[in-house]
Amino acid sequence: MERRLGITRGDSSKHKRFDLGLEDVLIPHVDANRGAKNPGVFLIHGPDEHRHREEEERLRNKIRADHEKALEEAKEKLKKSREEIRAEIQTEKNKVVQEMKTKEKKPLPPVPIPNLTGINGGDPESSDIRKKREKIKEMMKHAWDNYRIYGWGHNELRPIARKGHSTNIFGSSQMGATIVDALDTLYIMGLLDEFRDGQKWIEDNLDFSVNSEVSVFEVNIRFIGGLLSAYYLSGEEIFKIKAVQLAEKLLPAFNTPTGIPWAMVNLKSGVGRNWGWASAGSSILAEFGTLHMEFVHLSYLTGDPVYYKKVMHIRKLLQKMDRPNGLYPNYLNPRTGRWGQYHTSVGGLGDSFYEYLLKAWLMSDKTDHEARKMYDDAIEAIEKHLIKKSRGGLTFIGEWKNGHLEKKMGHLACFAGGMFALGADGSRMDKAGHYLELGAEIAHTCHESYDRTALKLGPESFKFDGAVEAVAVRQAEKYYILRPEVIETYWYLWRFTHDPRYRRWGWEAALAIEKYCRVSGGFSGVKDVYSSTPTHDDVQQSFFLAETLKYLYLLFSGDDLLPLDHWVFNTEAHPLPVLHLSNTTLSGNPAVL
């Protein structure tokens, strides 16, 4: 005897979903009397024939009742005037909005608070260092106050035009990028009135239900990173709530055939896409590979494993792929899961992917051995194929492009000096001394790139070609946009060695910024570091407040402020606490299994 159990797999749009109180069952949206020859139904034999016939009968009756109800409702609707129908739709809409708001206010589950050692303090040991630290704080106040006056709520500030500024990474809305990015710097500097002012703006204005297409990477590192950091430092719940709301909006970006996220996502529609210029619609290593820290914290704080799963899926996929010469190319197609152009860089397009492998390990209290192994493998390949010494003895990191090594290093790649130093402890075959030395050599090279300019500020990228060493050649590479990477490296090297040269170099950079980038309306980038009469680009980047000034402040603070065995800085310099979990499946949080 035959009986019908269910339907064959296929296009679910051809079926109606009914909640039967037991489980969601897909019912063919066709004549329920179709017989055994119905191609949408598969047949099996079995003993519980009677029970299943009853169940089938119940289903038919439910379908019939639902259809009749829908018909009645439609008839009723037709009797109503347009106005009445409009009013009903409006009431329904209001209900949905209200429900969403209630959901937004839902408290998140309690989790064990990580060790928050060192959120204050760092008093300098001498009056000279204290004065320097005070100067950096004053620079922060100048940057913030002018943004407060002329750019409040805008993403960034135009310090010369004295108005708001934005770029396409933040979309078309005013999302207050500078406020969110600057919060933790304000907090650690003790600028608490300014911090509260920023908090108030976030409470009243920061809204993610906007029809705006943003960069997933930038929003993650600046907004989610900034909000999480502000939450951990201040304990104010609002920051955690906003971070989670925003993260939910980013999740649709992962809806690709491979789970490798799109570079951009529309916060309202959830539609994602990639940058047109990125190797035939590829996603970028430094973008999809720089989500791990924030997403692990999101799962930790919410008890929802969804974020953790997304980033672990990326890691697993990368582990399975072949790597030319052991190097990760910068481009990966999210549709096919294949590498795009074979271009490898520790600067732009690649940089923070390597940083996050190391930091995933550090952030897990050094229990995420998988991440550490990926980091060790990657830097061994980088050292073998990309790191060279110039004729004049400067160590630099080149880029692999079109089958050969380009002897060019970007300002962005200068962060790697700090990364090598940070990763020295725990390195394979106990090569700690070697990696600390490598970090120091990179710091030296990057300092040279600053020292060989008229302004004592580094160019965007510099060459090592014949007689040219650590100098930009093309006009388009001579600008400095208030970037932090070189100062970041000085700070890490200072923490690990206490060699006074790093404070000296950091102070040189601070004075140069003060002299050439400070204007009465804030701080601006400069277009040519080789010209002694610089032209300003009229942009005060949000990372100047988040990173450059924070690293300078820390450089002139004691090591007890944000100690590195308790805090790990995300790539936008937002400190996140080490999670003392027994393993990387977040078992420390009972809410996450």
Map residues 492-531 to x or -, x wherever contact with ligand DMJ holds by CB under 6 A: ----------------------------------------
Residues ≥6 apart with Cβ < 8 Å to 142: 518, 522, 523
End-to-end Cα spacing for the chain:
45
Nearer to ligand DMJ (CB atom), residue 27 or residue 219: 219
In the 3-class helix/strand/coil scheme, how is 135-198 assigned residue by residue? HHHHHHHHHHHHHHHHHCCCCEEECCCCEEECCHHHCCCCCCHHHHHHHHHHHHHCCHHHHHHH
Instruction: Return the residue matching tokens 């690990």.
Output: 496
Query: Does residue 448 carry a catalytic annotation?
Result: no
Given the residues 351, 365, 368, 528, select the one marked as catalytic. Answer: 351
Check if the beta carbon of residue 394 is closer than 8 Å to that of residue 438.
no
User: Of residues 184, 460, 537, 538, which has the active-site annotation?
Assistant: 460
Q: Which amino acid is at 389?
A: K
Give 236 or 294: the residue with its C-beta nearer to ligand DMJ.
294
CA 323 – CA 339 distance, rounded (Å): 9
The total number of residues written for the chain in this structure: 593
Q: How far is the CB of 544 from ligand DMJ (least distance, A)?
A: 9
Q: Which of 266, 333, 571, 589 binds ligand DMJ (CB under 6 A)?
A: 571
Q: For residues 423 and 484, which CB has a smaller minimum distance to ligand DMJ in the complex?
A: 484
The upper half-sphere exposure of residue 87, i.e. CA atoms within 13 Å in the direction of its Cβ, equals: 5
* Active-site pick, 181, 304, 355, 485: 485
Q: How many CA atoms lie within 13 A of 385 on its CB side?
A: 23
Is 236 considered catalytic here? no
Max CA separation in the chain (angstroms): 94
DSSP state of 253: G
Closest CA to 422 of 513, 360, 374: 360
At its nearest, how many Å lie between ligand DMJ and the CB of residue 483? Answer: 4
Closest CA to 270 of 180, 311, 207, 209: 209
Asked whether the CA dihedral 194, 196, 199, 205 is positive or negative, the reply is negative
Instruction: Name the region of 348 (left: φ>0; alpha: ψ -120 to 50; beta: rest).
Output: beta
As a whole number of angstroms, the distance between CA 516 and CA 519 comes to 8
As given in the structure block, the two tokens for residue 449 are 């790139």
> Minimum distance from CB of 400 to ligand DMJ (Å)?
20
Residues 151, 545 contacting (CB under 8 angstroms): no
Q: Which is nearer to ligand DMJ, 242 or 483 (CB)?
A: 483
Integer Cα distance of 151 and 109 in angstroms? 36
Decide: is 352 part of the binding site for ligand DMJ (CB under 6 A): yes
Contacts of 510 (CB under 8 A, 6+ apart): 132, 135, 136, 139, 552
- Among residues 252, 293, 572, 577, the one that binds ligand DMJ under rule CB under 6 A: 572
Of 244 and 546, the one with the shorter C-beta distance to ligand DMJ is 546
Asked if 445 touches ligand DMJ (CB under 6 A), the answer is: no
# binding residues, ligand DMJ (CB under 6 A): 8
Nearer to ligand DMJ, 249 or 411 (CB): 411
Q: Phi and psi at residue 294, in whole multiples of 5°?
A: -65, -40
Q: Does 4 bind ligand DMJ (CB under 6 A)?
A: no
Active-site position among 194, 218, 304, 355: 218
User: CB count, 10 Å around CB of 122?
Assistant: 18
Residue 114 or 522: which CB sits closer to ligand DMJ?
522
Instruction: List CB contacts of 113: < 8 A, sequence separation 6 or more.
Output: none
In whole angstroms, the minimum distance from the beta carbon of 354 to ligand DMJ comes to 11
Q: How many CB atoms lie within 10 A of CB 349?
A: 22
Task: Pick the closest to residue 63 from 36, 10, 25, 23 (CA basis).
Answer: 25
Interaction mask 411-430, ligand DMJ, x per CB under 6 A: -x------------------
In the bound complex, which residue of the shown chain has the CB atom lying closest to ligand DMJ?
571
Residues 165 and 481 sit within 8 Å (Cβ to Cβ): no
- In angstroms, the CA 381 to CA 154 distance is 42
* Known active-site residue 560: no
Please pick, from the candidates 310, 483, 495, 503, the single residue that binds ligand DMJ as defined by CB under 6 A: 483
Decide if 485 is catalytic: yes
Among residues 307, 543, 551, 553, the one that binds ligand DMJ under rule CB under 6 A: 543
Is 91 part of any known ligand binding site?
no
Residues flagged as binding site = 571
Query: Which residues contact ligand DMJ by CB under 6 A?
Result: 352, 412, 483-484, 543, 547, 571-572
Binding residues for Ca(2+): 571
Q: Which residues are catalytic?
A: 218, 351, 460, 485
